[in-house]
Structure formats: C-alpha cells, structure tokens
Structure 1
Amino acid sequence: MAYYGSIEAGGTKFVCAVADENLTILDRVSLPTTLPEETLAKVFDFFDAYQLRALGVGSFGPIDVNETSDTYGYITSTPKQGWQNVDFLGKLRQHYNIPMAWTTDVNAAAYGEMHLGAGKNTQSCIYLTVGTGVGGGAVVNGHVLQGFSHPEMGHIPMERYPKDTLISSCPFHDHCLEGLAAGPALEKRTGIKGQLLEQTHDVWEIEAYYLAQALMSYTLTLSPEKIILGGGVMKQTQLFPKIRESLKKQLGGYVSLPNLDEYVVGCELGDNSGTLGCLLLAKEQGV
C-alpha cells in the first residue's frame, strides 16, 4: 500500500506524518531541527519505512516558491543557523522520486483549516499564527496564494497604537506587525511572558488593536470568507472579542462584513492544521 507523507518543517521541530487514502494519520514523529544533514537523515529514517505515493512539504521560511527560479525549493534568508540557502526540496527529491507539493508552513495550515477545519464550506480564508513570530497564509478560490514569492503577512507596516513607543522586536522593521505584536513584543512591554499574563492586563488592548489593524488590511486586500487565528498568543481567548470590536471600529463602516463572530475565529485543527494541509496537498499531487 502507498501512503501520503507530510513534513511540517519548523525552525524548532520537524513534524513528519504518513496517512492513508482517507488522510487518516497512521504514524507521526517530531524531530528537533538541528543542522540540515542531521535533521534530514532522521526524516529519511522515518519515511523509508513506508512506500510513499506523494509528499507535501510546508516549511519555515523565507523559501523560494517560484518554479522558474534557479533556487526554487530553497530555504533562503532564514535566520535559522545552518539553514540559509539550503536546497531543501532538492535534497528530498534526491531521496524520493515521487510528486511533491512545496509551500510555507502557514500556507499549508491555511489549506488544512479551509478544507477540514474552521474554514470548511468556504473557498477562501486566511490563517494567521501569532506566537514567537507572526506568519500568515492564504487560500484564494481554493488555491494556496503564491506569486513571485509567498505572503509575509507578519511584516506589514502598522500605524502605532497611541503613545506606543516600544522598540520593535523585529530586526528588519521598526513598526511591523511581528515587531509590535508577537510574543517577544508582549514580553518587552510587560516583562512577563505572554502565557503568564493575566487576562485583564491592559496590554491585551494594544495587542488587539495591532491584530485588528492587520486583519483590516487583509480584509480590504483579499476579501477572505474567513480569518482563522492560531499560535500561542491566540490561546489567550479573551483576545477574540477585543479583536472583533477593534476591527469593526477601525473599518469605520466602510465595508459590510459577515457576522464577526463567524468571520474572525480560532483554528479548529490545533496542532494538526499544517500536517493535514500538507497531506491534502500531497494527495492532490499523487492522484
């Protein structure tokens, strides 16, 4: 029997899985992300036990998704030590002569959520993860959104919250979403790690303002049917009503949105969003 494989490649860990025709996950392993050769050797050890029909890969980035590029399939300018300019997809293809889907980890998560999670019965959604960093993926008309590159939704510029003078936690931008709203920014503002902050802390108003401002930009640009929020910061569920309220205020009545309780939602697949998205993409490749 041939199986579908999934690699959700993160800067901290690689989650590899195999599934049957019904996308029932039969086996899964989590591997620490060390240097490329060492990590990939363990990936191959896992998958070599199975006859793979196709493989879906969702990788941390930035990555090259332009099929006409000389560096298609590479992890490019990542800050992850040892992974800069690594031909990740090429190394996988050297080992397995099977169809492969290649995208970002957040695009894969968006695809999984749209088909099997919070975005079911839609053809377009955005998935935004808010944690140590901020990353976003989009599905438009049923297809993962990619152009000359892939979306970098965490790095759009922000209008600062009134009197907010925080030095951005992003080394590239002094007022981007990631720099002002990711976990490290929360800790900078309060001296407390985000998961330990009280639900009533004033900082959540600032966090909601920035996230709502970003969602307004995505809404006005892509008009998704649903926006799905995940990641460690979004486990602070009191943020959801604050974000919805701020989004409504910032839009100022310019566009008519669906019911906000149904438009801005949490992810349903949890830690499986990316894995299931990769498996779906693999199955499409392997048909």
Structure 2
Amino acid sequence: MYYGGIEAGGTKFVCAVSDKDFKIIERVSIPTTAPEETLQHIFEFFDNYQLDSIGIGSFGPIDVNRKSATYGYVTSTPKKGWNNYDFVGAIKGRYDIPVAWTTDVNAAAFGEYRKGSAQNSKSCLYLTVGTGIGGGAVVNGEIIDGFGHPEMGHILVRNHPEDDFEGVCPYHGNCLEGIAAGPAIEKRLNIKGQDLEKSDHYWEIEAYYLAQALVNYTMILRPEVLILGGGVMKQEQLFPLIRTEFKKVMNEYVTTPDLDTYIVAPGLGDNAGITGSLLLAAEKAI
C-alpha cells in the first residue's frame, strides 16, 4: 500500500510517497510555476508508483466545501495562473483514486496532532508565520472547516504603541498577516527578519502581535496546544517573548496549560505539512 502526499506551496511543491507505516520512500521538491508545468512534474514523480490515495495540503485560498461547484479549486490566489484552478480535478483526471483536499496549514496541524507536538492531545492549533500567516485547527481528530477553511492570518489586531506601520495586506492593511508576516517586517525595517539581530527591539513588537492572535485563538477554541512554525518562527528568541506578552494580554482571564508547553514549535519541524498530507491520504483510503 502506497500513499501520495503533496504539500503545495506558493514557491515549491513537496511531493512524497510513503508505505502504510508512513515511512517515506521517496520525496521531491518541485518549483511552483504554471499549473500545467508543475502538474507535469508531479505526474512524472507519482507515475512510478501504484498509489492507493493522495493527500493534498495546498496554498490558498481554496474551496473545501464539498457542496460547492468549485470544490477542489484554488480560488482567489494572487499566484499567477493558479486563480480558479481545478487542482483536485487535475489530479483525479490522472489518478482514479481517493484524494484528500485541505489547506497546507490544516495538513500541518493534522500532522502535528498525529505525529508531532500535539500527538498526546485532543486538540491543537497550528500557525505558520512566514511569507504569509495562516492557521489550522484540529479538534478530536477532525480538521475544523465550515463553508470554507479558516483564514487565521487575517484577523484584526491592535497596533503596538511604538508601531505606526500601516501594513502590507492588499485587502485589510494591518491585519495580522499585513503587519507581522515576513514581507511586513522587511518593508517596515528595510531588512529581512532573518538578517535582523536576535536582540533587536523589533522582536518584542512582533511578539506583541503574535501574542494577541494566540489569545484570540485561545478565547475562541481553547486548544490544548498552540504550535508556531514557518520561517519567521525560526527566530527562536520569539517564543519566550510571545509567552511573556501572551500572559500580559490574557491577564489571568482564563487559565491555560503551562505556557512553556502550550506555545511551542512544531515537533515535526519543516515536515509537518507533508506528514499531514500523507496521514490524510491514509484516512481517505480507508
């Protein structure tokens, strides 16, 4: 039995094949170009295997509503060529097997729930902070979706008293993504976050925004674990700063687990998304 996994990102696609025990047999990284070109490389990879199912965790926005005429589509993405693209249709047109379809962050959340930092919990929330900000949540083994998938990066936050940055989100200006994602850091400071000194005062401002978001998610969902991944969160000095700010903003309104175990890094590292995609493929094959 073989499962296929696709972690579809705006910059690259990671594709992998695993056996029934989720041991990865082979994986490749494919640059994200035009859909037809990207899919051709995907087909060349998966054609070497007799797959039982495929799980896809995709950049978005995507349509996850099974009642919708555009279920399986990448919808209003600014990624050239991918707007209103029938991704699932293209995969199923090549392989007549079950296909699991969700966002990349939902897949990462599911991977962390089953195999990572939340594997002994009933619920978790995964937030990626990088080129964009997105989040997914799993409760009692189920990914949370409604008429669409969550857009946790576009919640509104209060400006830090020392920060008058207007944000870079073309839709909302200074929403969380617009004010705290990697491009916002670079535009505000004229330097990439990865090149900023770890002791720079800006990281306290970044922590202020991310802590606000985590308090909001906690108030709404009360997950057992909050997992923060993505390129910006490779700045490990952010974690204690976020925990400190979270405590201030929460102000003892509700109790949470110990913050050192509540706000954590991904146990699977950069493999959360592809692991989740393979796990979802397995569930679809049952």
Query: What is the one-letter code of the residue matched to 1:29?
Result: V
Comparing 242-251 and 179-188, the one that deviates more: 179-188
Secondary structure (helix, strand or coil) at the match of 1:51 reads coil
Aligned to 1:38: 37
User: CA offset at residue 140 of structure 1?
Assistant: 1.4
**Deviations 1:223-249 (Å, cap 9, x if unpaired)?**
000000001111111110110010010
| CA deviation vs aligned residue, 1:180-237 (integer Å, no higher than 9, x gap) | 1011111122221100111110100100000000000000001000000001111111
Letter in 1 for 2:133: V
TM-score w.r.t. the length of structure 2 is 0.99
Q: 2:204 aligned with 1:205, yes or no?
A: yes
Counterpart secondary structure, 1:52: coil
In structure 1, stretches of 5+ residues that fail to align are: none
Q: Distance in 1 between matches of 2:215 and 2:270?
A: 26
Runs of 4+ in structure 1 off by over 3 angstroms are: none
Tell me how far 1:163 sits from its aligned partner. Answer: 3.7
User: What secondary structure is seen at the aligned counterpart in 2 of 1:49?
Assistant: coil
The alignment's TM-score, normalised by the length of structure 1, stands at 0.98
Partner of 1:148: 147
Q: CA deviation at 1:164?
A: 1.7
Residue aligned with 2:25, SS: strand
Q: 1:120 deviation in Å? A: 1.2
- In the alignment, the residues of structure 1 paired with residue 203 and residue 163 of structure 2 have an alpha-carbon distance, to the nearest angstrom, of 13
RMSD: 0.7
- Return the alpha-carbon distance in structure 1 between the equivalents of residues 52 and 35 of structure 2: 24
Report matched runs for 1:77-156 at 5 Å. Answer: 77-156=76-155
1:190 and 1:99 map into 2 onto residues whose CA distance is 46
* 1:48-78 CA-partner distances (Å, limit 9, x unpaired): 0000001100000000000000000000000
Measured in 1, the distance between the counterparts of 2:139 and 2:155 equals 19
Secondary structure of the corresponding residue to residue 267 of structure 1: coil
Partner of 2:50 in structure 1? 51
One-letter amino acid of the structure 1 residue matched with residue 57 of structure 2: G
Q: How many residues get paired?
A: 286
**Letter of the aligned partner of 2:150 in structure 1?**
P
Mapped to 1, the partners of 2:283 and 2:173 lie a distance apart of 40
> Structure 2: which amino acid aligns with 1:190?
L
Please give the per-residue CA displacement for 1:132-171, whole angstroms capped at 9, x wherever unaligned: 1111111112111111000110000011111421121111
Corresponding residue of 1:159:
158
Secondary structure of the corresponding residue to residue 228 of structure 1: strand
Structure 1 counterpart of 2:261, one-letter code: E
